[in-house]
Amino acid sequence: MPADPLHSAGKPQRSTTSQPPSGSGASAIEVRRSARRRRTVSAYREGDRTVVLIPARMSEAEEQRWVTVMLDKLAAQESKRVLGDAELSERAERLSAQYFDGRARPTSVRWVTNQNTRWGSCTPSEGSIRLSHRLQGMPEYVVDYVLLHELAHLLVPGHGPRFWRLLEAYPRTERAKGYLEGVVAAERLPHPPGARDE
């Protein structure tokens, strides 16, 4: 594989690492400035880190704006990937380990097509979790929130204070809830005549 010209020897580049804005899918953002890069900005995932490549001359304000733009672009690309049931189960296991010390152990996690009024459901007595197919294509942080919500029900059945305290560990809870509320609100908006036929 040829060497990446942006990372080859030559003019030094400045690199900074920071925590991401809430709602991004990565745990850290590394911004790499390059004197050889003139106008283009690009980004990619590297494990749990997001690397954003920008021109060295860019101001701090431009850097912040481009980081946000590139995080949104990556999230949009990732949201087009549809997870299968096996991947969904693996994701639930990882989320349980990360946020609940592995205490939430579902026996099954799968997509279903018969949940049109709720995003997910859980039967604690069986340990089964079902997610609505309507979540497919939504940003990963939203799917993760719904998965965590249902995993939390394996530990606390109702929606009392103990339940919500569990979800406080997930940093994108409020953003994900806002996203889902926006989807529901958009579905309730009146559609102009003929709009559905176009």
What is the predicted pLDDT for the residue at 191? 67
Cα separation, 43 vs 65, in Å, equals 13
Q: What is the pLDDT of residues 84-96, one digit of tens each?
A: 888 899 999 999 9
Q: What is the pLDDT of residues 159-196, one digit of tens each?
A: 999 999 999 999 999 999 999 999 888 888 886 665 55
Q: Please say whether the beta carbons of 106 and 89 come within 8 A.
A: yes
Q: Which residue in 82, 31, 77 sits closest to 58, CA to CA?
A: 31
Q: What share of the chain has pLDDT > 70, as a percent?
A: 79
Cα separation, 103 vs 97, in Å, equals 7
What is the predicted pLDDT for the residue at 73? 85
20 vs 36, more confident? 36
pTM above threshold 0.95: no
Above 70 in pLDDT, residue 77? yes
Joined together, the tokens standing for residue 14 give 């400045």
Joined together, the tokens standing for residue 9 give 């020897």
65 vs 1, more confident? 65
R_g over Cα of the chain: 20
Q: Please say whether the beta carbons of 33 and 54 come within 8 A.
A: yes
Max avg pLDDT among 21-35, 45-59, 141-155: 141-155
The mean per-residue pLDDT over the stretch 17-41 comes to 69
Cα separation, 130 vs 163, in Å, equals 19
Above 50 in pLDDT, residue 153? yes
What is the predicted pLDDT for the residue at 80? 61
What is the predicted pLDDT for the residue at 20? 46
17 vs 44, more confident? 44
10 vs 52, more confident? 52
Above 60 in pLDDT, residue 62? yes
Grouping H, G, I as helix, E, B as strand and the rest as coil, residue 128 is strand
How many Cα atoms are found within 13 Å in the side-chain-facing hemisphere of 187? 9
Q: What average pLDDT does the chain have? A: 81
Question: In what helix (H) or strand (E) does residue 120 lie, and over which residues does it extend?
Answer: strand 120-123
CA angle at 33 for the pair 32 and 38, rounded to the nearest 5°: 130
Can you state the angle between helices 85-100 and 140-155, rounded to 10 degrees? 70
Q: What is the pLDDT of residues 95-137, one digit of tens each?
A: 999 999 999 999 999 999 998 889 999 999 999 999 999 998 8
